[in-house]
Each structure stands twice: as C-alpha cells, then as structure tokens.
C-alpha cells in the first residue's frame, strides 16, 4: 500500500476473451483511488461494469491495459495474498454446502483463511450476525435473509482489511439491512475500507463516502458525500406508467419512502446522471409526481 491508499486503478481496461467467441471490451480507461476508512459505492445500470470492476480489483480478471494495485499487490499475480486480507461477497451471495450448518460454514471459513482462534471467532460472528439460534440448522433450511447474514459473517471470518460487497442487501429484511449498515460503519471506524456495488438507493444514500457512477464501462463521475449531486430513478406511476425522477442524492432515501407510501413503484437505479443545475429540475419533477397522485 502507498500511504493510506488501499486500492489504485490507473487507466485500466478490461475485456472478456473467451475461447471460440469474439472478445468484448467491458471497461475502458477506469481510474480511481480508494483509501483507508472510506466506504466507496459503485452505482450504475445493469451491465455497466460494476461487478467487473470488483473482479478487476480482486484479481479475477486481468487488465488489458493500465495498472491495478489492491492492498499494495498486483491482483493478477498475487490474488491469494489479497484474499488473505479481503472479505468478498460477489454476485450477492456465497454458495455453501446445503448439508452444513452455519457453525460448519464458519469453521471451514476460519480455517481456510488461517484464523488462529477459530472457536472464539465463530462464537463472536454467530452472535454479531444473529445466527446463534440457527447454528445447528442446515444451510439449505435457512431463510434467504438468514442465509445472507451467514454469507456476510463468512466474509468477515478472518477480520479482513478490505470488505468487498456486491449487491449485499439483496434478500435482507429491514433489521438485517440495519445490521449491515452498522457493520459497514464499524468497519470504517477501524480504519478499513469498504467497497460495494448496489442498486439499493437507500444503501447508497446512507453509507457512502464516495460514489463512482459507472456507465457503459466507464467511470463517469466521482463525488464525495455532502456535495450536490443528483440521481435519476426510473419509477412506475400508478396511472401514467413509467417515468423518471431526478432526486438529490442526500434526499434519496426520504424521497423514495414518501413515493412508496403514495403508491409509486420504485425501480432500481437504472440510470444515473450528475446534474450541474439540477436543483430546480429536482423540485419540479417531485412536485409533478405529487400532482399525478
């Protein structure tokens, strides 16, 4: 690591080049830096390249151009060293043996990642992620939310320095979501970094320090928390059908809650843009939406 920097991506490009098929460029000229104690969020529409960027940072895919450093290592050459120090949830889930119990899963994880005091660590995680009452239940019998909490606990089993979460709120109920947000903040307070992708506007709103807007394989904008930037949501109005809504990012959670109460169906962040003169437009769109009601 250079100083406080945990991740550095410089002019990186990524392409899929499978056997027997043509290649496809999926990321171009990506540059970003993430330091200790930062919570960084990648947002963007489906297929924009968010998960690919995580895979690049973790060494699951080699850049065709540019340079990547994660925790001080070249991830393509030193993926195992990075995995020793990073907790990773990709594609919103981990796959566990259905006939294992949460205790088995955590024991395997602890040993696989070289934890010294295995039993103590398992007890701690079972309690922190409210899994104690399910510790003897087969993984196959867990509810979606409990399974997801187990997956999150698994990623933290070796007390990593970097927490990488790809759509971590999928399947989580309100309480579990709060638990996740608390864990993210605790992680940050310890001087560690969190990197996540999300379609979940409320998560983006509540927990980020930096937002990277990714679209068509490029990082479009990067802004810190508290600055004026706006996101465009796709919503379904009860009578008018699909429309767009521009909202200031800091007010996103509150606005979404209000719209939901009024019967609007909120889609994911299908499209994101940053507007220089968006304040008026924001008010106008929200008030139009209210009139539609």
Partner 1 sequence: MISMIRLFLTLTKINNRQALRYPLQAALRLLASIVFLLMFALAARSTSKADLAESLLATLIVFLSIVALTKTANLLESEAREEVFLYPYPIWKLQLVRAFSVSALSTLGLVAVYGLLAGSWAQFGSAFLLIVFAYLGAVGLGLSLFGLHLLFVKTDFLVNVVLIGILTLAFLPMEKAPPWVEWVPLVNVVRVAQGFSEGDLGVLIANVGIVALGILVAGYAEREVVRRGIAGLA
Q: Which of 1, 33, 36, 60 binds partner 1 (CB under 8 A)?
A: 60
Q: Which of 3, 18, 22, 226 binds partner 1 (CB under 8 A)?
A: 18
Q: Which is nearer to partner 1, 93 or 234 (CB)?
A: 93
Q: Which of 90, 170, 266, 275 binds partner 1 (CB under 8 A)?
A: 90
Q: Which is nearer to partner 1, 3 or 20 (CB)?
A: 20
By the rule CB under 8 A, 187 interacts with partner 1? no
Q: Are 208 and 18 in contact (CB under 8 A)?
A: no
Q: Which of 5, 45, 65, 83 binds partner 1 (CB under 8 A)?
A: 83
By the rule CB under 8 A, 278 interacts with partner 1? no
Range in contact with partner 1 (rule: CB under 8 A) among 37-45, 86-94, 177-185, 221-229: 86-94
> Which residues, 39 to 58, sit near partner 1 by CB under 8 A?
55, 58
By the rule CB under 8 A, 174 interacts with partner 1? no
Q: Which of 44, 59, 201, 217 binds partner 1 (CB under 8 A)?
A: 59
Q: Which of 5, 37, 81, 251 binds partner 1 (CB under 8 A)?
A: 81
By the rule CB under 8 A, 36 interacts with partner 1? no
By the rule CB under 8 A, 128 interacts with partner 1? no
- Unique residue bearing structure tokens 């945990």: 6
> Which residues, 93 to 122, sit near partner 1 by CB under 8 A?
93-95, 99-100, 104, 107-108, 111-114
Measured distance CA(161)–CA(84) in Å, rounded: 9
Q: Which is nearer to partner 1, 57 or 247 (CB)?
A: 57
Q: Which is nearer to partner 1, 59 or 201 (CB)?
A: 59
User: Which candidate, 192, 190, 223, places its Cα nearest to that of 39?
Assistant: 192
Number of chain positions touching partner 1 (CB under 8 A)? 34
By the rule CB under 8 A, 80 interacts with partner 1? yes
Q: Which is nearer to partner 1, 72 or 253 (CB)?
A: 72
Burial of 220 (0-12, 13-18, 19+ CB in 10 A): middle
- Token pair belonging to 272: 């994101």
Q: What is the DSSP string of the chain?
A: --TTEEEEEEEEEEEE--TTS--EEEEEEEEEEEETT-EEEEE-STTSSHHHHHHHHHTSS--SEEEEEETTB-TTT-HHHHHTTEEEE-TT-----TTS-HHHHHHHHHHHTT-SSHHHHHHHHHHHTT-GGGTTS-GGGS-HHHHHHHHHHHHTTT--SEEEEESTTTT--HHHHHHHHHHHHHHHHTT-EEEEE-S-HHHHHHH-SEEEEEETTEEEEEEETTS--EEEEEEEETTTEEEEEEEEGGGHHHHHHHHHHTTPEE---------TT-HHHHHHHHHHHHHH-
Range in contact with partner 1 (rule: CB under 8 A) among 1-9, 72-80, 195-203, 241-249: 72-80
Name the site residues for partner 1 (rule: CB under 8 A). Answer: 14-19, 26, 55, 58-62, 76, 79-81, 83-84, 88, 90-91, 93-95, 99-100, 104, 107-108, 111-114
């Amino acid at each position: 690591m250079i100083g406080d920097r945990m991740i550095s991506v410089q002019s990186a490009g990524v392409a899929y080049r499978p056997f027997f098929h043509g290649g496809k460029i999926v990321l171009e000229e990506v540059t970003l830096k993430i330091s200790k104690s930062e919570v960084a969020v990648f947002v963007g529409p489906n297929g924009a390249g968010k998960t690919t960027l995580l895979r690049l940072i973790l060494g699951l895919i080699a850049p065709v151009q540019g340079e990547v450093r994660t925790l001080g290592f070249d991830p393509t050459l030193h993926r195992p060293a990075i995995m020793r120090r990073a907790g990773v949830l990709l594609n919103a889930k981990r796959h566990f043996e259905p006939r294992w119990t949460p205790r088995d899963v955590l024991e395997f994880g602890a040993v696989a990642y070289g934890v010294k005091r295995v039993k103590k660590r398992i007890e701690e995680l079972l309690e922190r992620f409210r899994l104690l009452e399910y510790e003897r239940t087969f993984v196959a019998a867990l509810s979606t939310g409990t399974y997801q909490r187990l997956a999150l606990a698994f990623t933290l089993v070796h007390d990593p320095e970097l927490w990488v979460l790809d759509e971590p709120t999928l399947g989580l109920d309100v309480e579990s979501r709060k638990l996740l947000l608390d864990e993210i903040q605790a992680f940050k307070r310890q001087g560690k970094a969190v990197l996540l992708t999300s379609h979940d506007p409320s998560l983006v709103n509540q927990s980020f320090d930096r937002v990277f807007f990714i679209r068509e394989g490029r990082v479009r904008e990067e802004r810190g928390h508290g600055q004026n930037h706006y996101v465009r949501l796709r919503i379904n109005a009860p009578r008018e059908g699909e429309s767009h809504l521009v909202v200031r990012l800091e007010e996103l959670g509150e606005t979404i809650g209000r719209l939901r109460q009024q019967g609007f169906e909120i889609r994911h962040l299908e499209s994101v843009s940053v507007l220089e003169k968006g304040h008026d437009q924001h008010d106008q769109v929200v008030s139009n939406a209210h009139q539609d009601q």
